[in-house]
Structure 1
Amino acid sequence: MDSAPIPNVLTIAGSDPSGGAGLQADLKTFSALGTYATNVITAVIAQNTQGVVAVEPVTPAMIRTQLDNLLEDVEIEAVKIGMVASRDVAEAIAEALSRRRPRWVVLDPVMVAKSGDRLVDDEGLRAVRDILVPLADVITPNLPEAAALLNSDMPQSLETMKSAVAELGRLGSPNGLLKGGHLAFARCPDLLWTPSGERWLDAPRLSNRNLHGAGCALSSAIAAKLAHFSFSASARVKASPREMEAGIATAIVEAKTWLHQALAAGERLSVGHGMGPPHHFHAWW
């Protein structure tokens, strides 16, 4: 019987009643990848596979109370931050995590749902950029999110993706993955950056409709993989900066591989009439 410790991970995100995105997707991903899942909810969203009809933010005071209460009791190894609707919420999250910081912070700068519905106001966008990006070890923007963070046009080519990564790195997160799925290529090009440089990671484009919550699943998979890396034998001994950087890159690559398999297996699911979710438990069911 495996006696390896099981790391605790946390998602700070909004809800999705259809179960494909938001904290529900994060909880499934954490569980599928062998970590113990906890959550703090930032917003209640009326949403299904076809779109968002209403967003009810949780108050910053309640978010702070949820975080403080959880972190006083549970040792969290990695946290994934998703939807942050306002500056007050960003400040509450940053303050709580600065006092009891998990080893890893992964930020998915969620701003627009797959349906195209805007989830964050302009002040919330600036707060994500100015407050949460510098707090994160890894950020995972897609091309529209990168354009919003940089107040620029959306990258339309591999060269403009490289330029965007250079600008994103200056916002304060040392590592990240710029997701290039919005480009009309046969393969989906993602650009990984670390302090040592950049690396292209691509995968075949899948022709199914199960993309709802894919970004949520990827960022939470990275958090789960980083939590396991911290618990590995090599990381328990003080790792060198080069070893830590290699561990981060490996976590991102493994998370992408897992997500691609979950997306491919999504055709087994029949959830809603719009854009369905990945199959988070494809390796188990």
Structure 2
Amino acid sequence: MPELPEVETVMRGLKPVLEGRRIEAVNLRRAGLRFPFPEGFAERLSGRRVTGLWRRAKYILAGLDSGDVLLVHLGMTGRFTVFTGQGARNLGEFYFETAAGEAGQGPHDHVVLALEDGTRVVYTDPRRFGIMDLFPEAEATTHKLLGGIGVEPLGNEFNVAYLAERFRDKAAPLKAALLDQHIIAGLGNIYVCEALYRARLSPRRKARTLVKKKGHDPRLDELVRHVREVLAEAITAGGSTLQDFAHTDGAAGAFQQRFLVYDREGEPCMSCGAPIERLVQSGRSTFYCRHCQK
């Protein structure tokens, strides 16, 4: 499933295409994705101008001049493809080869946005685990999918003081605590593994052990720094290409070439040479070096 850097990359790819443009028509080729589309979904989008795009956690949000907000979650296999008004794929644009054909006519093309300049933005999702919703902007903080989400890991609110307070009485393993979306928004499995390795912290360590009666373990400062750095590096690299992820222009993310521990089970640690190990925590694979991470 795409994590924060991948979602940020897709959002940035869509931003110059959608922002400031009017959606002339919406073609829905099924009644919903993971959940049914909201009532009047196509009608409420048609004729509206997109006023802005942004990301919250792993959601892409688009503000409309009607006062509504379009919410998109890519699920496991959701992708956007941008087609020009000429109808043909430009060199380098991405599209499912198994669903090749005219834009929006593939078997897994479920939503087609026709823009005022002739561009078509196609949402493709073979497994249909993605989500699309439409709601008034005033409900953004209370929306069922957005309410209660923690701070953004790249925002100013994510700092050592905040993390120390949230970890103070938390007995959960450090890996699970960092993946708790009520604490940190959008942080996912891949980048938690990488940040913990860089900070030399074991994923098994209890989160509260980094907080002292007076102050905190200095490694908490390192953890905050490395979470920020690994996410920033991944965004610059365009994310990680794992299974179905690709940019809106078809380019593959390159951050997987920089993995220090993730998906490297049995390979030598780049610091000490010991084999990278894998364990399962909360149903997810964790990759780490037993010798370097304490």
* More helix per residue: 1
Q: TM-score, normalised by structure 1?
A: 0.28
Bigger Rg, structure 1 or 2: 2
Q: TM-score, normalised by structure 2?
A: 0.28
